[in-house]
Amino acid sequence: MFTKLPLKKRSRWLRKLFKPEIYPEAFFAYLHKLPAEIQVNWFRDDGMIIAKIKAGNKEFMTQGADVDDFIRMVNESVALVFDIPNDYFDIVTQTRTYLPSIADRKLLEDQSVSRYSFGFVKNEQVFKVA
């Protein structure tokens, strides 16, 4: 019977079967668990952007190959350090909870800047419900 279903319905059914359900209340609770601001000290080394991050009383390091990869890695690192469960990890990190200001992003993109320090502020847009 399953094999007689159209491919689109089969894939939807399989996703529901093997992917845990995401509850909006839990998602927002995990986002609120993350700190409101983090401090990022970064430098360039062999084409990589390497950062030491201070979030609350926790300190850790991450790196990225380019600006977008670096921002993604910062978000993933914070989610990992603050114990976001696997079921919610992907969706929490995809929201890009922490974004640098426009001026700080320009400094990240400027290859002539070799090191800098700034604070990432939590992106409040992810909390707006449509």
- 42-79 residue pLDDT tens: 999 999 999 999 998 999 999 999 999 999 999 999 99
What's the start-to-end Cα distance of the chain, in Å?
38
CA separation for the pair 113, 84 (Å, rounded): 33
Residues sharing a CB contact under 8 Å with residue 116, sequence separation 6 or more, in sequence order: 41, 42, 104, 107, 108
User: 68 in a domain, yes or no?
Assistant: yes
Q: How many domains does the chain have?
A: 1
User: 11 in a domain, yes or no?
Assistant: no
Q: What are phi and psi of 85, to 5 degrees?
A: -60, 155
User: 70 in a domain, yes or no?
Assistant: yes
- 64-117 residue pLDDT tens: 999 999 999 999 999 999 999 988 888 888 777 788 889 999 999 999 999 999
User: 58 in a domain, yes or no?
Assistant: yes
